[in-house]
């Protein structure tokens, strides 16, 4: 089954959203089997076959998908009618330099690709705006969560009316980082005026290193922006622990990408 985690309670409110795993596709090793990324060296034909499978599964068509050229940055892009289908069949026309997509268009699935970085989905309770962000440590510390939320708030959603879902990502159990990354996290806490953040724990195995839990950092940022903790849903899945998922770190960089998807029905 390609879609591991479907947000069924969101579906009840007119939003189709969820996260895929690596099973049930046609790609061969090391992309086996449900790789959705065209930029990782996999056969284009196989990736497009996988995209056709997910389209059918979520009652859409690949022609309506929107992908970005994700760069671990902090830029969100407002997807309108003219962006529909961008990146669906080729990386060449994917939306440039964007790590979050936001739309008010109906029937336009926004797709974020990842293999350890956190995919984060956003839906306004009034079901008029949805968003999807890609947040690894670089994106999370450079403000991708804030820029996605700012765009959604500008489009009329109040933070209190936002529902957020954090997908499969590498977590504090597995994500050892060095001092420069730790300093970027501390700097993020200073930016958010969070005094005692809990995302960063000193490593017991490797002095001077830290275990970073990106979902905790994301939750702390969301809280500082006014999103209620009971509106933040977390899959709790670690891509590095759980072999049903692609993990960039576990596979030494040679692997596929799972997808997070969201659209307004």
Residues at the interface with Zn ion (CB under 5 A):
173-174, 238, 240-241
d(CA 185, CA 109): 31
Q: What distance separates the 2 farthest-apart alpha carbons in the chain?
A: 51
Give the shortest CB-116-to-Zn ion separation in angstroms.
10
Rank residues 51 and 240 by Cβ distance to Zn ion and give the closer one. Answer: 240
d(CA 235, CA 6): 10
Give the shortest CB-202-to-Zn ion separation in angstroms.
17
Give the shortest CB-117-to-Zn ion separation in angstroms.
14
Residue spans of alpha helices (H) in the chain: 8-11, 44-57, 137-142, 144-154, 179-192, 214-224
Q: Which residues, at least 6 apart from 44, have a Cβ–Cβ distance to it below 8 Å?
A: 38
Give the shortest CB-171-to-Zn ion separation in angstroms.
5
Rank residues 245 and 263 by Cβ distance to Zn ion and give the closer one. Answer: 245
Distances from the Cα of 10 to the Cα of 6, 39, 102, 210, 222, angstroms: 9, 30, 17, 35, 19
Give the shortest CB-175-to-Zn ion separation in angstroms.
7
Distances from the Cα of 155 to the Cα of 73, 99, 152, 165, 186, angstroms: 21, 18, 5, 19, 30
Rank residues 122 and 246 by Cβ distance to Zn ion and give the closer one. Answer: 246
Give the shortest CB-250-to-Zn ion separation in angstroms.
9
Rank residues 46 and 213 by Cβ distance to Zn ion and give the closer one. Answer: 213
258 near 179, Cβ under 8 Å?
Answer: no
Q: Which single residue is written with the structure tokens 């936002």?
A: 162
Rank residues 228 and 241 by Cβ distance to Zn ion and give the closer one. Answer: 241
d(CA 131, CA 182): 28
Distances from the Cα of 199 to the Cα of 15, 98, 117, angstroms: 30, 25, 15
Rank residues 22 and 78 by Cβ distance to Zn ion and give the closer one. Answer: 22
Angle in degrees, 0-180, between the axes of helices 179-192 and 214-224, rounded to the nearest 10: 20
Rank residues 87 and 215 by Cβ distance to Zn ion and give the closer one. Answer: 215
Rank residues 170 and 192 by Cβ distance to Zn ion and give the closer one. Answer: 170
Give the shortest CB-237-to-Zn ion separation in angstroms.
9
Q: Considering only CA atoms, which of 13, 102, 15 is closest in space to residue 59? A: 15
């Amino acid at each position: 089954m390609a879609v591991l985690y479907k947000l069924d309670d969101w579906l009840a409110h007119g939003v189709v959203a969820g996260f895929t795993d690596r099973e049930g596709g046609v790609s061969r090793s090391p992309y086996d089997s449900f790789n959705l990324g065209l930029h990782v060296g996999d056969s284009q034909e196989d990736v497009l076959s996988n995209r056709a499978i997910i389209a059918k599964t979520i009652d859409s068509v690949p022609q309506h998908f929107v992908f970005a050229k994700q760069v671990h940055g902090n830029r969100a892009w407002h997807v309108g009618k003219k962006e529909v289908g961008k990146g669906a069949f080729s990386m060449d026309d994917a939306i440039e330099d964007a790590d979050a997509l936001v739309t008010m268009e109906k029937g336009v699935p926004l797709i974020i690709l990842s293999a350890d970085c956190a995919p984060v989905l956003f839906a306004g309770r009034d079901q008029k705006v949805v968003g999807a962000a890609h947040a690894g440590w670089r994106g999370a510390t450079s403000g991708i969560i804030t820029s996605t939320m700012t765009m959604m708030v500008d489009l009329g959603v109040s933070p209190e009316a936002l529902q957020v879902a954090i997908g499969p990502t590498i977590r504090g159990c597995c994500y050892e980082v060095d001092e420069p990354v730790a300093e970027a996290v501390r700097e993020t806490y200073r930016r958010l005026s969070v005094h005692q953040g809990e995302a960063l724990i000193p490593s017991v195995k490797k002095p001077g290193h830290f275990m970073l839990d990106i979902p905790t950092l994301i939750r702390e940022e969301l809280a500082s922006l006014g999103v209620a903790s009971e509106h933040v849903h977390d899959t709790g899945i670690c891509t590095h622990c759980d072999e049903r998922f692609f993990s960039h770190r576990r596979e030494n960089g040679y692997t596929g990408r799972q997808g997070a998807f969201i659209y307004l029905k």
